[in-house]
Structure 1
């Protein structure tokens, strides 16, 4: 009757006991050709037809959907066993209707605490409530939290590992370079670092190795030059203290030896002896055989003297055909025995020079250090005096200063 008088009428959705489902009734007036109402067309719509769509939405959102009438009575729901759905609290329903689209916490249709929101149908007196159990939401949040924490920890560890690898890739070569530089600074120039990278650090390592090679070459050149200079210095030193003809110590070196021995004698009273030797008739030898023969004999006698003394003794050319032998820590008796041995050895030796055989003899003066001596030349003076006594006595003799 309302459709005839008012036009299209929609009866609020409700649970229809006849059809055992939620329905709503739609009444539309039927008009004749002259627009007079001749009746009404009434349709009963089964709301369960929308269940597949509701289930699809519920599956995609992980929540549940419940369709209510305006009093809050459940009509349809996506819950398993929807017949056990209960009405929610009226004040909650009022709150959901007043704040449509805003989430609220309330006791849901299964009497569990849920988080839900409501939307009003535009053309039907229906309320659609979407809700999800708070425990499920918390569990989902826990899973999300754990996943997030796992992701954060994983990313942190990954970043830390990458930072450590990057740090090691930079620090380790730098430590190697620093250590190698320290070894070079300590004098170890044999260092050679392996080049295993093609970046700036690899280039730096190559430059370092080149520098080490240059240092080694420079050091070798320096060592070679230093050794050559040392040999030259030794040669110059030897030449400065050596008589060029005989190879014995020269007069300058003899003066140093005598001064040193005299100083030692004054410190510890250990005596030393001096032999002053002269080749007999050397002027006649020069005149008869020539100066070259004289030089040859001088060198030969000098060699014989060097071979006849101890390693601690000193032999020097005093001047001309005279020689001096210094005998450290030697008494006059031992010095006399050595002088006699040398004299006999020279007398028994012959020298061949240009198909000529030459023999010479020695006159020897021997002196020993004394407490009354004020300089080494006092000893030389006594030995010289004994030498001339030997010559006056007929040469080829040894005379000692008692």
Structure 2
């Protein structure tokens, strides 16, 4: 029997050994066939020292060695939370919206590009949150709806010249139809079976986009997609109107900010509606919900359809921003990325999904200087976060446990 105090140190030793076994092939095996250990050991020893210090501080904190610091800090935090609770929630929302509107005025192009990517993933994460977080249906092929929305706008823009704003509801409607088509065969399935089937449908959509040369141009993709445009008043020669193409990144930021705010409001309204309550009942215990009169068949189908709507909107914007789409942008890795945002942020939590998208898009940029082992550091940060806060960065207030998980 391992004593409780020495157990973390044993886990640390095993973890560091595995870390070296993973790190050495990346840095110690070279293209010319030579094997070295110095660079791998330099990186490993830094991580080992940092991890040892972290575990040591954690053990000392458990023993109460830092009570003279943690107790005053806890009081300060409680007083800060009580002071923050006195400010009405609409004030915080307006403050956040004001910061988001002013963001491009104080940042450069690189920061704006990262912010645009974050907002796109916020739309995707909140759409998947309807399916996974609210209804409790594990979907591994969600990126297919993203692709449907992108190709809808690409085809209508290139072949028929349909403007972006008119294509948004069309893309949302077709993505919703795809959600119904994918969701209908999976309504009788649960758990791992549901995940495998949704994964298969997601790959089917990607393969169709890759092989239907007459419609999608196959792996070559579609070029020449028009950027969003707006009609603005012109007072130069009297009252008139003119079209302005929103090609600048600053303008595109405001377009996707509008879509993100619309998605947040819509998902919030769904969450606190009767439909949202029914979805949560299905998530907690589908059998009990059905016995209480909840139409689980239609509501699960509606969850797929509503989640697909927001994916279609994000896909239409993605096509307008890149002005090029191809099947390589809609792989399973993207679905896994969006699912990781939902789980990391907190299932069923709108602020949590926003934080998860911010973390998973911004962290790789922070670790960009690590070059070869950037993703290794990124994965380690994610693992540490889930160990520290397994319920997510911002857990939902209404979250129970499914009967299958209890068993």
Could you state the TM-score of these two structures normalised by the residue count of structure 1?
0.18
| Greater percentage in strand | 1
TM-score (norm 2): 0.18
Instruction: Using CA pairs under 8 Å that are at least 6 residues apart, name the structure with larger relative contact order, 1 or 2.
Output: 2
The structure whose residues are more often helix, as a share, is: 2
